[in-house]
Amino acid sequence: MAVKHTPTNEVHSGTKGGKTGCGFDTKDHPEHWVNSHERITCDKNGCKNE
């Protein structure tokens, strides 16, 4: 499962309402995050490795 950060178009591992693989909390700015099936583009630890 992936979650997209719409201001940057970066796709992270995780789901909306939880934390991304790299540690962002999607509840901080819920309007910035949407569930996605796109390929993960984040290259930080925890996202890239999944």
Residues that bind Zn ion (CB under 5 A): 12, 20, 22, 42, 44, 47
Q: Please tell me the distance from the alpha carbon of residue 21 to that of residue 18, in angstroms, as a whole number.
A: 10
Question: Rounded to the nearest whole angstrom, what is the least distance from the CB of residue 42 to Zn ion in the complex?
Answer: 3
Beta strands in 1-50 (DSSP E): 2-5, 10-13, 33-36
Q: Which is nearer to Zn ion, 4 or 42 (CB)?
A: 42
Q: Which is nearer to Zn ion, 10 or 31 (CB)?
A: 10
Is the distance from CB of 30 to CB of 24 less than 8 angstroms? Answer: no
Q: Which is nearer to Zn ion, 31 or 42 (CB)?
A: 42
